[in-house]
Chains A and B, each alone.
Chain A
Amino acid sequence: MNSSDTPAAADASASPEPRHGWRLFSIWIVLSVAACLVIWFVWYPHMPPGRMSSSAASEQFDIAVLSVSAAPVIIGVLLYFVYAIVVWRARPGDEGDGPPIYGNTKVAATWIIGTTMIVGWLFIFGTVELVVPAGAGAGEGPSPIFKLAGTQAAAWTPGGSDMLQVQVIGQQWMWTYRYPQFGGMESTVLDLPVNTPIEFHVTSLDVIHSFWAYKLGVKADANPDVDNVAYTTAKATGGFEVRCSELCGIWHGAMYNSGTVLSQSAFQTWAAGVQSKEHSEGVLAALPTYALTYDPTVIPQLGKNIVQVDGITGAAGYYYGSGDPVTP
């Protein structure tokens, strides 16, 4: 409606304009509080990835807080949208414009203050959450800014405060896991002790993979020649699945295996048993010395590049030399 086109006589007879701002605010505050209560008390306990580990619980908390933060914004936008359609829609014969808002200090101040508060809150919350939980589940490097949840030691025993080191090795299309504190033994299953800080060292022997233990809330890229470090502490016993989350070839979708969070004593028994078996069978001796990354073109025991090893001819007469083309 264009006020300049409206006769004074008509203004006098028209019903007073309702206080749209207060009406919108009232509806918005009721809906927002209701939505936040539903999110926090009904949805939050069931949000992925669950609470199997410290990082998973932290991620669940973050998602819940961000959902609560986003709900009033979404409700505000949709409410304004619906309200405008219903209340401010153009009636038949109404060819006028609405009142101009340019220069409306109240609207401008509300917008600037509101968006500043939202962005500031997200900045502060996000920054704190990257530091406080001692590991957000992603690769954070060997010297993170937060205080490690345990101490780094050459050995691990149940009941101590030492971190368990686990090396995650990706290759097309398998995950294997080395335990340097158990003689460097290797396994195709990822077993972990409960209530123990874990230090994952993630690397790859060929292309880029991504280690994703979804229920543990850990996801870290596995790059060749890179030691990507991620931290978590398993808080509950049970099984979980490990998947690759980086497209890595035709069987990427099948690159998964499983793991179990065990009691500390059960884990100790399992790990020592695997170490003993691999030692007696000669597997440990066949493995390269534990290192943070590996060069698969070198056989460590022989100290030679693979193509230099006498007698090893490989498929089609050779291995994979540096001169190999990327495509056939």
Chain B
Amino acid sequence: MSVVARAAALIVAFLCVVGLGAFVAVYYIGSATTQLPIIHYTASGGQVSVVLQEDAQNDSTTRPDWVTYYTQDPSTKQWVHTTLFSVPANTKVNVTIYGFDGCTPLRNNYFSEVQGTLGGTVTVSQFDQHGKEYVTDKPMSVINSWSDCNVGHTFAIPDLGVFVPVASPNAQLSANDLCGTSPCTTSGNPYARETFSFMSPSQTGTYRWQCLIPCGGGFLDGNGGPMQTLGWMMGEMDVVSA
């Protein structure tokens, strides 16, 4: 075989290996992200309303015991098992999170402080399983996850400086009778409702968000599983052109 032929054969072999690797990467990584639906929130009056809920379990067949977030489709009001959503740029984002999961202490209690929201506060309401409201629209700048059992998870967008402890139903006042079927409903289940607002950035792009409480039960230090998987306790907020 001539030198030219050998070189050509080597180049072809190299390209085949690279192409195969690229195909596998695109196929698996691409499918891992595109399987999750993206909920699109459009602005109305210069604002969007993002609605989430957090559950101790979920309705999947593969990981039913993983703690997870759900996102509400604004058009159908149905809960969708995804953590991908989009909002317009430079828009006031009003977030409502329904906390159905029980409390878990923060690893770093510094994140008990509300940061990055408009006004630096969140508004918290808590209900027991009978619908009794024992905390009503209470503005809070700190929800101490160590002093009482009132924080379930956090909602954090580090790139935007948004760090929000998300209230849980008080375990003792709700007799620990937490929702056991997902997606949870406010009827017959203890829950917390937390609202806050922040401004989406003017720069479009993808902003990751995550929970900072190690809530991956069954994993080392609680940091694996749902904590490191899109669609569960971490997600992405796409900021698109308004």
Contact = CB atoms under 8 A, between A and B. Distances in A.
On whether the two chains bind one another, the answer is: yes
Interface of A: 169, 171-174, 176, 186, 188, 205-207, 249-251, 254, 257, 278, 281-283, 286-288, 296, 299, 301-302, 306, 309, 311-320, 324-328
A320 B228 contact: no
Contacts of A174: 108, 156, 158, 212
Given A188-B115, A188-B161, 19 more contacts: A171-B107, A176-B108, A206-B107, A251-B210, A251-B228, A282-B144, A283-B142, A286-B110, A286-B113, A286-B146, A286-B147, A296-B108, A312-B103, A313-B149, A315-B67, A315-B102, A316-B57, A317-B56, A325-B219
B228 A207 contact: no
B108 A301 contact: no
Interface string B133-146: 00000000110101
Contacts of B65: 316
A251 B110 contact: no
B158 A314 contact: no
A313 to B, nearest CB: 5
B110 A316 contact: no
Nearest to A300: B146
Contact of A205 (B104, B107, B215): B107
B3 interface: no
A302 B145 CA distance: 12
6 closest residue pairs by CB, A with B: A316-B217, A320-B222, A315-B215, A314-B104, A315-B67, A186-B110
Contacts of B161: 188
Contacts of A314: 102-105, 215, 217
Contact of B147 (A188, A301, A306): A301
Contacts of B172: 311
- B-side interface mostly: loop
B158 A286 contact: no
A296 B149 CA distance: 17
Contacts of B149: 311-313
Interface string B209-233: 0101111111111111101110000
A278 B221 CA distance: 28
Contacts of B110: 176, 186, 283, 286-287
Contacts of A299: 105, 146
Given A188-B115, A325-B218, A328-B218, A315 B56 contact: yes
10 contacts: A171-B107, A188-B161, A206-B214, A206-B223, A283-B142, A287-B109, A301-B146, A313-B149, A324-B220, A325-B219
Given A250-B228, A311-B149, A283 B112 contact: yes
B87 to A, nearest CB: 19
The residue among B110, B142, B171, B227 with the most chain A CB atoms within 10 A of its own CB is B110
B231 to A, nearest CB: 12
A320 B222 CA distance: 6
Interface in B137-174: 141-142, 144, 146-147, 149, 152-153, 156, 158-159, 161, 163, 171-172
B142 A171 contact: no
Given A174-B212, A251-B234, A301-B147, A313 B108 contact: no
B96 interface: no
B108 A312 contact: no
B47 interface: no
Nearest to A178: B110
Nearest to B146: A299
A312 B113 contact: no
Nearest to A205: B107
Given A172-B223, A174-B158, A312-B103, A320 B214 contact: yes
B113 A281 contact: yes
